[in-house]
Amino acid sequence: MPISSAVGLIRSPRLTRALAALIMLVLLGLPSDRCHADIFHLIDGKTIEGTIIRETGDLISIRGHDGKITTIDRSRIQRIEKKSTSLDEYLERSASIKVDDLKGNLDLARWCLDVKLAAQAQKHLKLVLAIDPDHDESRRILGYVWLGGDWYIKGSPEAIERLEELSSDPEVPVRDIPEQLRLPDWDQQDLPELPELPPLDDAGVEKVVVIVDEKIGRKKPERSGMIYHLRRMGGKLQFVPGKDDKAKIIVKVRTRCYFVKLQTFFSAPIANIFQGEARAQFYERNSAGKLVLRKTTTVKIPFSSSVQRSKEVALQYTYYITLETIAARISRWGWMKQRGSRSLPMPNTR
């Protein structure tokens, strides 16, 4: 299984950290119990460091630190030296580290790299990602790059596709973020609990399950305003958060808001450029019980912000506007209009 698939499993919210650690052990094929590594001195002066895993007649198979198995004739061995090796020390160190100890696993991974235990280093770097999926150092060592709001294996088909997507976008006028940023009602901390919009009433309404996957920079928002915006549409619709288990109608929304670049003028910084992207997909379960994709809508919204404004604030604003825009697009779908929903206004970014 490739590293990208393994990390995809780690990032699944259905897996506990302990289970993620067990998966990593299985994927790497590393022994979880103690073993002793010997040094085999051969009659030609060479040495092999590892553990005997099989003896067949006069043939001995030895597994080295890198997992490679070497099979030699017993007559070639001059002597066997019982000696503490890097693998022995690794086993002692790893025995005291818990799977959810980020610093412990990271420190051990660094040590493994120093002593050329590459496979063991990968194991502990992946355990770090099970705890912190956006850990920069671990991602970099494992060969990841950050492209347009997400991690990709460098040189992978997915990374190449994403690079092409980012570079092939037509030129879009960059809009400025206003000096005074207005927080949307649903995110103001001093408000009481928000009312349902519209009131949830099972009589004569159709339930739409909303599944969101959102990121602001490299973090998920503390709470999503997606359902709040969709319920502004009104009509005979009931938007609820949930999963795709047995749901008849599903809307999946994926948003990514991220910093793009620093814009300069004769080497002087003048503005930070941000990008908001969203994709909404409409699924309907057919008579055979299978979910069928009926419609997809995407938006891309670039913004320019003063270098004096913090990136965190600018990213938050980009996220708000991206949410409002994709909700307005969804409100214009024919399926929604047939059920009495009203079109939401497109946000004014000027």
The tens digit of pLDDT for each residue in 131-181 reads 999 899 999 999 999 988 889 999 999 999 988 888 876 777 788 887 777
| Phi, psi dihedrals of residue 116, rounded to the nearest 5° | 70, 30
Q: Please indicate, yes or no, if residue 144 is contained in any of the structural domains.
A: yes
Least confident of 172-186, 202-216, 318-332: 172-186
Mean pLDDT, the chain, as a whole number? 83
Report the CATH number that the domain containing residue 54 is assigned in CATH.
2.30.30.100
* Domain co-membership, 132 together with 57: no
Judge whether residue 9 has pLDDT over 70: no
178 domain-assigned:
no
Domain contains 118: yes
Helix (H, G, I), strand (E, B), or coil: what is residue 10?
A: helix
Lowest mean pLDDT among 93-97, 170-174, 342-346: 170-174
Once rounded to an integer, what is the mean pLDDT over residues 274-302?
Answer: 93
Q: How many domains, the chain?
A: 3
Q: Which residue has the tokens 């650690």?
A: 21
Q: Could you tell me the pLDDT band of residue 68, with boundaries at 50, 70 and 90?
A: confident
Q: Are residues 75 and 11 in the same domain?
A: no
One domain, residues 312 and 253: yes
Answering whether pTM is above 0.85, one says: no
- Residue 104 is predicted with a pLDDT of 95
Examine the fold and report which residue of 104, 134, 164 is the final residue of a domain before the chain moves on: 164
Given a cut of 80, whether residue 79 has pLDDT beyond it is yes
Q: Do residues 63 and 98 both lie within one domain? A: no
Evaluate whether residue 241 is within a structural domain.
Answer: yes
Q: For the domain that residue 272 is a member of, what is the CATH number?
A: 3.30.160.180
Neighbouring residues of 55: CB distance < 8 A, sequence distance ≥ 6 = 61
Are residues 140 and 269 located together in one domain of the fold? Answer: no
Q: Are residues 101 and 8 in the same domain?
A: yes
List pLDDT tens digits, range 229-272: 999 898 888 899 988 778 899 999 999 999 999 988 888 899 99
At 168, is the secondary structure helix, strand, or coil? coil
Statement to judge: residues 198 and 282 lie in one domain: yes
The yes-or-no verdict on residue 65 having pLDDT over 90 is: no
Domain membership of residue 101 (yes or no) is: yes
Kindly calculate the radius of gyration of the chain based on its CA atoms and give it in whole angstroms: 27
Distance (Å, rounded) from C-alpha 138 to C-alpha 132? 9
Cα 193 from Cα 195, distance rounded (Å): 6
Supply 177's token pair. 């973020």
Q: What residues does 82 pair with on adjacent strands?
A: 38
Q: Are 149 and 269 contained in the same domain?
A: no
What are the phi and psi torsion angles at 159 (to 5°)?
-65, -40
Run of H or E residues at 137: helix 136-141
* Residues 214 and 317 both lie in one domain: yes
Residue 108 near residue 124, CB atoms below 8 Å: yes
Asked if the structure places residue 169 within a domain, the reply is no
Query: Do 13 and 107 lie in a common domain?
Result: yes
Q: Which of 149, 145, 143 is nearest to 126 (CA)?
A: 143
What does the pLDDT read at residue 8?
Answer: 44
Q: Are residues 220 and 328 in the same domain?
A: yes
User: Rounded to an integer, what distance in angstroms lies between the CA atom of residue 177 and that of residue 265?
Assistant: 19
Q: pLDDT tens, 11-34?
A: 443 334 444 444 444 344 444 334
Give the C-alpha separation, 162 to 168, whole Å.
10
Terminal CA-CA length for the chain: 48
What's the rounded Cα separation, in Å, for the pair 79 and 68?
21
Does residue 346 fall inside a structural domain? no
In a shared domain, residues 317 and 277: yes
92 in helix, strand or coil? helix
Domain region containing 285? 185-337
Could you tell me the two tokens for 230? 């969709």
Residue 211 within any structural domain of the chain: yes
* 248-257 tens-digit pLDDT: 999 999 999 9
pLDDT recorded at residue 67: 80
